[in-house]
C-alpha cells in the first residue's frame, strides 16, 4: 500500500481522483456537473482535520471545492498534495505616490 504524503496536513490543498471518489456520496451529489466515468478526472479541496483510525491508518476529513457544504472522510493515501493552504487575507492594495516618493498600503 502506498504511503501518505508527509506534506498533507490540516489546511493543505489536495486533490483526489474520480476513481477514489466512486465509493463515496460525491458522484451522487455532482452527477449533473461531472462525468465520473471519464478517465483522469479529479476534484480539489482542502483538509479540515486528520485522525488515525483503529487500524492505525490516517483518515482525513476533506472539504471539496465543488461541495463546500459537505465534508468527506478519505484515507490519507488516496489524497495528492497540491500545495499549502491559501492565504485567508486578501492581498494588500498598494498605491505608489510618485510625486511624493512613498508607497501607501490601503
Task: Give pLDDT tens digits for 80-103.
Answer: 999 887 655 555 555 555 555 555
Task: Give pLDDT tens digits for 40-63.
Answer: 899 999 999 999 988 889 999 999
Q: What are the DSSP calls for 56-95, one per residue?
A: S-EEEEEEETTEEEEEEEEEGGG-EEEESPPPSSPPPPEE
List CB contacts of 75: < 8 A, sequence separation 6 or more: 4, 57, 58, 59, 60
The x, y and z cell numbers of residue 48, run together, are 479540515
Q: What are the DSSP calls for 7-43, one per residue?
A: T--TT-EEEEEHHHHTTSSHHHHTTTT--TTSTT-EE
- pTM score: 0.75
Task: In whole angstroms, give the CA distance from residue 15 to residue 72.
Answer: 13
Amino acid at each position: 500500500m502506498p504511503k501518505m504524503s508527509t506534506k498533507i496536513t490540516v489546511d493543505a490543498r489536495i486533490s483526489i481522483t474520480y476513481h477514489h471518489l466512486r465509493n463515496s456520496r460525491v458522484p451522487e451529489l455532482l452527477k449533473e456537473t461531472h462525468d465520473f466515468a471519464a478517465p483522469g478526472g479529479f476534484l480539489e479541496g482542502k483538509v479540515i482535520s486528520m485522525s488515525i483510525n483503529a487500524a492505525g491508518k490516517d483518515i482525513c476529513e476533506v472539504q471539496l471545492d465543488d461541495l463546500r457544504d459537505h465534508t468527506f472522510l478519505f484515507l490519507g493515501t488516496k489524497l495528492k498534495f497540491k500545495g499549502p493552504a491559501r492565504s485567508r487575507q486578501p492581498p494588500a492594495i498598494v498605491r505608489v505616490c510618485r510625486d511624493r516618493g512613498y508607497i501607501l498600503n490601503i
